[in-house]
Structure 1
Amino acid sequence: MKAIKEKHPLVMRWTHWINFPLLGIMIWSGLLIYWANDVYTVTIFGHTFVRFFPQWFYDALHIPQRLSEGMAFHFLFMWFFTLNGIFYVLYTAISGEWRHLLPNKHSFKEAWLVLLHDLHIKKTAPPQGKYNAAQRIAYTAIILMGAGSVLTGLAIYKPVQFNWLTWLMGGYHLARIWHFVLTLGYVFFFLVHVIQVVLAGWNNFRSVISGFEVIRQHEPKINIETDEKES
């Protein structure tokens, strides 16, 4: 027997879907800004293995010569990104949803079991509530990453006005590195997140849109022999 069960509150769904295009705009506009000073590489013993980013990447996305456009979009939408994040965190804290979201003392051990199950190494999945242990860790991490992006962003946006913040971030250059690394982290999270959503199936995806999921309930078994004896 199937039943409909509420899973995700309206506020959490709205902030989730609002954040999706906001983060996309922030990453895109950040690339337009980064193009003007693309200094980061992975270099070992004088040999560059990875350069962020090759010229063909910039040309394919029509990024060159759009610094002012990138700054305009980035500095505008960062406020919407920040406000949406603050609203999400406040709602999670006040509503009690944090109990489902934050990792507990068993989460790191169970997250490993979730990974083994997803890789089809272990057949049985560990017990889970609204979120499994891996999701608890990942979703909490992405919230902390969002806070880190805002703080490092302010540190490199206004290094004089927020000189104390820039100092806490390790200086302007280190703050910019952290800001860049966090952006790469978002891209990695997004790719893994999409794969997990596809693997989880339509019922899980539908719950993030509608707030409800369809669950299968076990029907109570009727002992016919006992009933006949009693009659």
Structure 2
Amino acid sequence: MTSIDIDHEQHDDRHDQHDDAGPDEPSTPGDDRVARLVHPRAIRWFHWINVPLLTIMVWSGLRIYWAEDVYAFGIGSWEWFAFFPEVVYEQLGLDRRLARGMAFHFSFGWLFVINGVAYSIYLALTGEWRHIVPDRRVPREAAQVVAHDLHLRKDAPPQGKYNAAQRMAYTAVLVMAAILVISGFAIYKPTQLHPLPYLFGGYQGARLTHFAMTIGIVLFFVVHLLQVARAGWNNFRSMITGYSLEPASPADVAAPDVTTPTDEEATS
């Protein structure tokens, strides 16, 4: 991308921020905040492409899972809880259409794999992985983040692009996604790819692992949504536009940031 393209993109983002600003986030010449790039365009694409892909994968995967014996907790003949009660499938309209579930699952599964491989390559080539992969300080700081979120600690620990708890969670979900794909191939082609089922103790072990990783990713998604709602609109907008409005530093006051709207732009 040329410098002209970058300037043009920043100019468009400034106007988008001016139009979208709410009463708590005024976009006026007197606003003491500046727009900073948080999420590059590629990261945003990889992120949002996964939303429909994972939705379809979970929906179609439940159709496949529902065609076999479901997992349940219990002792002997007494069943405490089944994954999932039949009423769940009835309410979601997930009748036993195995062929349709397999068709969707395998078709969109390849797109999920391609998106994941492209994302991994991007992280490696750009160095973005450094913002995600935890270092030795992360476990201690993650505990401090959780304590702060639970109002057990007054001050939040310092953070970079992501806080320590986010880095651990994002790394965990990437590992779960990799295991999900490998176990999925073990179920998909247990004969042709016969070494893969052995990694999980056989076909049933691969199936159980695949199910457990799916549950883990769904739980991560739920917590992720709650955290996004808790963080507010500015955080959510940054994953759409790439930019976040942040308080101006002394350096920004001395030398205005290139993404700060000028008087002419703010009134246009």
TM exceeding 0.5: yes
| Structure 2 portions without partners, runs of 5+ | 1-31, 254-268
Q: Output the CA distance in 2 between the equivalents of 1:178 and 1:43.
A: 19
Give the residue type in structure 1 aligned to 2:46. Answer: T
> 1:141-167, CA deviations, whole angstroms, 9 ceiling, x for partnerless residues?
111111111100000110000001111
1:198 equivalent to 2:221? Answer no
1:81 equivalent to 2:112? Answer yes
Give the residue type in structure 1 aligned to 2:127. Answer: G
Residue 66 of structure 1 deviates from its aligned partner by 1.4
Q: Output the CA distance in 2 between the equivalents of 1:65 and 1:168.
A: 29
Counterpart residue number, 1:167:
198
What is the aligned counterpart of 1:19 among 50, 60, 68? Answer: 50
> 1:1-22, CA deviations, whole angstroms, 9 ceiling, x for partnerless residues?
2111111111111000001110
Secondary structure at the counterpart of residue 230 of structure 2: helix
Secondary structure at the counterpart of residue 67 of structure 2: helix
| Structure 1 portions without partners, runs of 5+ | 222-231
Counterpart residue number, 1:42:
73
What is the aligned counterpart of 2:240 among 202, 209, 214? Answer: 209
Counterpart residue number, 2:129:
98
Residue 65 of structure 1 deviates from its aligned partner by 2.5
Percent identical pairs in the alignment equals 52
Q: How many residues align?
A: 221
The root-mean-square deviation of aligned C-alpha atoms, in Å, is 1.4
1:33 equivalent to 2:64? Answer yes
What is the aligned counterpart of 1:66 among 85, 93, 97? Answer: 97
Does the aligned pair in 2 maintain the 1:38–1:53 contact within 8 Å? no
Does the aligned pair in 1 maintain the 2:141–2:157 contact within 8 Å? yes
Secondary structure at the counterpart of residue 34 of structure 2: strand
Residue 49 of structure 1 deviates from its aligned partner by 1.8
Q: Output the CA distance in 2 between the equivalents of 1:139 and 1:126.
A: 18
What is the aligned counterpart of 1:55 among 79, 83, 86? Answer: 86
Does the aligned pair in 1 maintain the 2:70–2:84 contact within 8 Å? no
Residue 38 of structure 1 deviates from its aligned partner by 3.1
Counterpart residue number, 1:123:
154
What is the aligned counterpart of 1:135 among 166, 181, 186? Answer: 166
Does the aligned pair in 2 maintain the 1:100–1:131 contact within 8 Å? yes
Q: Output the CA distance in 2 between the equivalents of 1:38 and 1:57.
A: 15
Residue 44 of structure 1 deviates from its aligned partner by 3.9
Q: Output the CA distance in 1 between the equivalents of 2:123 and 2:232.
A: 25
Q: Output the CA distance in 2 between the equivalents of 1:116 and 1:124.
A: 10
Give the residue type in structure 2 aligned to 1:71. Answer: M
Residue 169 of structure 1 deviates from its aligned partner by 2.1
Most deviating of 28-37 and 60-69: 60-69
